[in-house]
Structure 1
Amino acid sequence: MTNLAAWYFDELKMAGVDFEDVAQVEAFDLKQLSSTPEKEQALVSRLGISSGHTVIDLGAGTGTFAIQTTLAGAFAHAVDISHAMLAYARNKAQKAGATNIHFHRAGFLTYEHTSSLADFVVTKSALHILPDFWKMVAFLRISSMLKPGGHFYLRDVIFSFPPAEYEMSINKWIERAAKPEGEGWTAKDYEMHVRQEYSTFAWIVEGMLQQAGFDILEVNYLSPVTAEYLCKNTA
């Protein structure tokens, strides 16, 4: 987007130290145990993405999901705010023989979709970079990128535990999920996420999705701190 107002959120500054060079991106990719080619291929099949579909992957990261959509015959737009992520993803796509994919340096608030409306928009583990006000703006923009009846899939750190139990729930999450240094996301990584990023409650996300014109077809609380939504665009 051009000519943004002075009050507009600068999401391009949200690319953290993990994403400043390709070596750090490679280390990040190794930690992404929920985003293996096999798991992303299963998600592509589950969503029904196939030949002729157009898919926008917002916060595409190292490109694993976008690559799998193209291997299923779809056309993918892989969108990320990090130059290093995109460079790494391009290299992966080339090695995988995934040619039907365009890469864009942008984010939820700045990506301009200028081609035909998409059949699917997908975002995984990325929306939490935005405060809640800007999540709502992102949902409105996503709706405008989708065909009527198109589908939006969201998975992220989203809290479904009772708000009054926040302290116990966050501590349990970190204790259960944290790995030793070099083996995955550490306790310090999770602590930083809660302290500095913008994960929010499921009831807030669900209200915003509905306000943006989405019908929530499916919701799964994968854990008290992780949720996924499959939505249909009715706007």
Structure 2
Amino acid sequence: MSSFPTWYFDESQIVGIDFEDIAQVETFDCKQTSSAPEIEQVLVKRLGISSGHTIIDLGAGTGTFAIQAALKGASVHAIDISRSMLAYAQQKARKMGATTIKFHRDGFLTYKHNDDLADFVITKAALHILPDFWKMVALMRVSSMLKPNGILYLRDVIFSFPISQYEASIDEWIEHSSKPEGEGWTVKDYQIHMREEHSTFAWIIEGMLTRAGFEITQANYLTPTAAEYVCIKTA
């Protein structure tokens, strides 16, 4: 952070999980059922990722998507702010024979892309660590890393329920999504997310994407508390 202003947002101060604790990283990997290898294989195929493509995976976590993209022959830059998360991902990649991944300890606001412009930027369940002001900064930075007509895929906790129903909607989300300890994300995990992280409304994200120079070609509201977007860089 030394090259950034003192008022710059510090992405390393994330909440809820100690991502430098390898035991918690392993637990996180088990909890991320939405990022199982077979699910990421489907996403790689759906986006048309193949040999010759350059991919930036922002918030790569334990590396499951990056590995599946690399196994298709893509050149992947896997970026995460956690040293332990990256070490765990590198170990997984070696075991899987995914040799075309470069790992970078950085975040949305600090990663400097010094390679060819990317064909795809992927970010899943990570942008919510940033307050809305910094989400906008991050999306402008993402745009600068992409080729013209490059693709941004974004999936996250994003709220599409009516604002007037926020209390009932969040209570229902926590009740139906939480798992017992050891089986997935718990009630406490979801409560921490709501108190201390920065998930926002679909209409806010969509406005940011447009202002950052993207055309939203697909907007899928998976549930009232989750959404995914496929966007093309137009500006």
Same fold (TM over 0.5): yes
Q: Which residue of 1 aligns with 2:84?
A: 84
Partner of 1:196: 196
Equivalent residue number for residue 95 of structure 2: 95
Amino acid at match of 1:88: Y
Question: What's the offset of the Cα at 1:16?
Answer: 5.0
Residues 150 and 113 of structure 1, relative CA distance in 2, 3 Å threshold: same
Which amino acid in structure 2 is aligned with residue 188 of structure 1?
K
Give the superposition deviation at 1:17. 3.3
- Counterpart in the other structure of 1:7: 7
CA contact (8 A) 2:16 2:193 kept: no
After superposition, the C-alpha distances for 1:74-118 in whole angstroms (9 at most, x for unaligned) are: 000000000010000000000000000000000000000001000
CA distance in 2, matches of 1:225, 1:16: 19
- Residue by residue over 1:129-150, the C-alpha shift from the partner in whole angstroms, topping out at 9 and shown as x without a partner, is 0000000000000000000000
Task: Supply the AA of the counterpart residue of 1:92.
Answer: K
Deviation of 1:15 (Å) = 6.3
Flag structure 2 segments of 5+ consecutive residues without an equivalent: none
Cα displacement (A) at 1:21: 1.8
Change (3 A) 1:14 1:98: same
> Distance between the aligned counterparts of 2:75 and 2:158, measured in 1?
29
Aligned residues: 235
Q: Using structure 2 for the length normalisation, give the TM-score.
A: 0.98
Aligned to 1:21: 21
CA-to-partner distance for each residue in 1:156-203, whole Å, 9 max, x for gaps?
000000111000000000010011111110001001000000000000
In the alignment, the residues of structure 1 paired with residue 147 and residue 225 of structure 2 have an alpha-carbon distance, to the nearest angstrom, of 30
Equivalent residue letter for 1:52: G
User: Which position in structure 2 is the counterpart of 1:123?
Assistant: 123
What SS does the aligned partner of 2:13 have?
Answer: helix
Q: Is the 8 A contact 2:75 2:100 kept in 1?
A: yes
2:225 is the counterpart of 1:232: no
Q: Which residue of 1 aligns with 2:152?
A: 152
Shift of 1:22: 1.4
How far residue 12 of structure 1 moved from its aligned partner, in angstroms, is: 1.8
Provide TM-score, normalisation by structure 1: 0.98
* Root mean square deviation, CA, Å: 1.0
**SS of alignment partner, residue 109 of structure 1:** coil
Q: Percent identity?
A: 69
Tell me, in whole angstroms, the C-alpha distance in 1 between the residues paired with 2:205 and 2:17.
Answer: 27
| Paired position in structure 2 for 1:179 | 179
Tell me if structure 2 keeps the 8 A contact 1:22–1:87.
Answer: no
Pick which of 5-14 and 155-164 moved more: 5-14
Aligned: 1:52 with 2:57: no
Q: Distance in 2 between matches of 1:123 and 1:55?
A: 11
Contact 2:121 2:151 in 1 (8 A): yes
C-alpha deviation, 1:18, in angstroms: 3.5
Cα offset, 1:3, TM superposition: 1.9
CA distance in 2, matches of 1:113, 1:16: 28
Instruction: Give runs of ≥4 in structure 1 deviating > 3 Å.
Output: 15-18
Amino acid at match of 1:153: Y
